[in-house]
Structure 1
C-alpha cells in the first residue's frame, strides 16, 4: 500500500473540506447544528470578518508560536477562506482558473497585467 504524498494528502483534505462546506450550505447536516450554515446565513460580510480574524491569528502563529500551532491556524484560515468564497459564490474552479493563468509568470508582471479599476 503506497503512502500519499504531502500534496495528495493536502488535496484530499481540501477536497473533503470543500465538499463538507457545500453539504452544509445545502442543509445536509445530519440534524446537527452547523457552524458553516450559521456563517453562510450571516452573509459575506460576516464570513469575511471571520476570515480576517483567522488571518491575524495565523500571522501571530507564524511569528511566535510552534509549527503545530501554525498548522492548526492555517487549517482554520483555509476553512474560513472556503466559507467566505462560498458566501460570495466564487467557486474553487474559479480560483483554480485564476491560478492557472498565472503559472510561469513573474508575480511582478502578473500584477502589472491586472485590469485597472
Structure 2
C-alpha cells in the first residue's frame, strides 16, 4: 500500500509516517516509480508508534516494544520489551495517581467557592 492508504487506514498523517520511517520505526520499500510501499503490518505498527508517542514514551521504549513484536525476535528482545512495558505501566499508574490527586484538589476548591 502507498503512504496515503496507510495514512487513511492507520489514522497517522503522511508527515508522521515519513518521520517514523526516517527514525526506523516503520519500514517501507520503494516501488519503481519511487513511491513508498508498506506491507499490511505497517498499519498496526504505525498505530502503536503513534499511541506510544502520544502517551509520552521515549523512542528507546518504543523501539524495545517494536523489536519484540516482529517475527523471529530474540529472547533478549522479549526480555527488554517486558522490562520496558512494565516500566511504561508503572509510569501510567504514577500519572493516574497524580491526576487523581490534582482532581481532588480542584474538586475541593470548587466546593469551597
Which of structures 1 and 2 has the larger relative contact order (alpha carbons within 8 angstroms, sep 6+)?
Answer: 1
Compare CA radii of gyration and give the structure with the larger one. 2
Task: Report if TM-score (shorter chain) is over 0.5.
Answer: no
| Higher helix proportion (structure 1 or 2) | 1
TM-score (norm 1): 0.29
